[in-house]
Amino acid sequence: MIRVLVCGAYGKMGREVLKAVHKDEQLSLVGAVDVNSDFIDVGDLIGVGKTGVIVGNDLQVVINETKPQVMVDFTNPSAVMNNIKIALNNGVCPVVGTTGLSEDEIKELSNHCKQMKVNALISPNFSIGAILMMKLSQDAAKFFPHVEIIELHHDQKLDAPSGTALRTAELIAENRGYLRQGHPAEVEKLQGARGGELSGIHIHSVRLPGYVAHQEVIFGGLGQTLTIRHDSISRESFMPGVVLACKKVLTLDGLVFGLEHIL
């Protein structure tokens, strides 16, 4: 049994992870952490009856008490870096779905993994359908170099654009390079109307109640368009990927970025 700690237990994603880990026969839920904890039993939090696992509010204390092998983190961009470092310093392998980490921070964490000889997996998205959407978009860019991305999330998401949108643009750029799109004399009458830009790819972020996580990649060609869209209508869609990552992270070599590398 792989001993798992869940960080961000009170969040919507955190609760789904608690349920998924609790149900899996190869994983053992040994600890949970949330800064807003009132020290309730995890079973009361997810409706499965008493488990004996209490939600703590200090990651280091919970690690000391529960001795996990893997930490799953779905917290927020301001907390995730510190959480990962605490895990690595204690020989715990992080599985991270929190987005908002910069490229420099990921490089720093990769070096930290090497120094501590501890593995980690960070992924912008744990939905297998979303991974396929990114891969198909990368392939399509060979034939349709003109593309824009629209990502739509719930209005409590803190970072924009999403990690998935950024990763999609990076993968597309690997195939087509930089391409200036649109009319060269284009003017934004309202700043930001054309969205953000990465390698010439415009990315538009929508934040509204009612959404979970959605993205469409729209390609334009001569007399035609191609749209590749993925919708997560429930946070359960991420759980098979999270559970797989918990089982695989112990056998990786250092830091791996992207769930696609373990599928």
Taking alpha carbons only, the member of 80, 104, 74, 72 closest to residue 244 is: 72
Q: What order do you get walking across the sheet with 255-257 strand by strand?
A: 55-56, 27-33, 2-7, 70-73, 93-96, 120-122, 255-257
Give the integer Cα–Cα distance in Å for 236 and 17.
Answer: 9
Give the integer Cα–Cα distance in Å for 122 and 129.
Answer: 17
* Catalytic site positions: 153, 157
- Decide if 110 contacts 254 (C-beta within 8 A): yes
Q: Which residue has the tokens 């930001």?
A: 192
- Give the three-class secondary structure for 163: helix
